Amino acid sequence: MERAVTRRELLRVGATTVALGTAGCLGSSSGDEWDIEGTLAVTNAQQYSSPGCSCCGKYASYLREQLDTTLGETETEDVTDLKRQHGIPSDLQSCHTLVLDEYVVEGHVPAEVIATMLEEEPAIDGIALPGMPAGSPGMGGTKSDTFTVYKLGGGKTGDVYTEI
């Protein structure tokens, strides 16, 4: 029963994006194009993943190569509650949530965008790349459109942080 609710929640996030992203999730994913020079300088890194989601594991593998610390991974049955606790609106959700020190990173956000956020230290709670876009880190497929990364918190939730 828990698993059915979780899947419904993921589908609610964006049925079209999830359907397209899931197909990409099954394919190979070369994260080399998203690698950064150096590493992300954080003290704590924890990823909360949806149960049984293979692209969450692929994103974690990609991220481990970008971090200068150990990535903790937790598979959680109640992803909806976790996302609510971190202030992530349903229209900005993806399959996993990453907590890096004081920032939240939702979805398959490329390390270059995370690095910029960590360097700039904006007065926001974090950033989100909604859905599971093909061609993003951890996802298979080819990037065909611009990725829009949104701000979380700081009175600016839903505003565009950057487009790549």
CATH 1.20.1300.10 fits 43-161, yes or no: no
Residues 83-126 have pLDDT tens digits of 999 999 999 999 999 999 999 999 999 999 999 999 999 999 99
Which residues, 6+ apart, have CB-to-CB distance to 86 below 8 Å?
97, 99, 104, 106, 125, 126, 152
Residues 144-155 have pLDDT tens digits of 999 999 999 977
Residues 56-92 have pLDDT tens digits of 999 999 999 999 999 999 999 899 899 999 999 999 9
**Domain residue ranges of the chain, discontinuous segments joined by +:** 43-161
What stretches of 45-116 adopt beta strand conformation (E)? 45-49, 71-75, 96-100, 103-107
Residue 127 to residue 109: CA distance in whole angstroms? 8
Tell me if 137 sits within 8 A of 110, measured CB to CB. Answer: yes
Residue 22 to residue 13: CA distance in whole angstroms? 13
Residue 100 to residue 79: CA distance in whole angstroms? 17
